[in-house]
Amino acid sequence: MRWLLSLIAPFKSELFAMVGVLAVCGIGATIAGYLHIQRQNDQIAAKEVQIDGLVSANKGWAAHAAEQNRLRDLEQRNVLLLEDKLALIEAQNTAAAAQLKDLETSNAEVRELMARRLPADLRRLLEQQR
C-alpha cells in the first residue's frame, strides 16, 4: 500500500483537483437532472389539465351528438307520420271527389226528372191527396 501512496504522492494535488471537478460536475449534473425532471413534471401537469379539459369538452360533444341523433330520429318519425297523414287525406279527398261526382250525377238525374211533366194519372193522384 505504501508503494501506491508513494506513486500517487507527486500527483496528489492533481488527483484531488480531478476528484473535486468530478464532484462539482456530479452535483451540477444532479441539479440539471432535477431541474429537467421538474420541468417534465410541470409539462405533464399542464398536459393533464389540457386532457381533462378535452375530456369534459368531449363529454359535452357526445351528449350534443346523442341529442342531435335523438332529434333526427324524432324528425324522421314525424316525417313518416306526416306522409301517412297526407296519404290518408289524399285517399279521403279521392273518396270525397267520387262521392261528389255521384251526387252531381244524381242531381243531374233529379233535375232531368223534375223538368219533365208529371203523367196525368200521377197528377190526379197528387190532387186527390191534397
State pTM to two decimals. 0.44
What single DSSP character describes residue 116? S
3-class state of residue 118 by DSSP:
coil
Helix (H) / strand (E) containing 130? none
Longest dimension (CA), the chain: 169
What single DSSP character describes residue 1? -
Q: What does the domain layout of the chain look like in residue ranges?
A: 59-107
Per-residue pLDDT reduced to its tens digit, 71-123? 999 999 999 999 999 999 999 999 999 999 999 999 988 888 778 787 788 88
What is the dihedral sign for C-alpha 32, 34, 37, 43?
negative
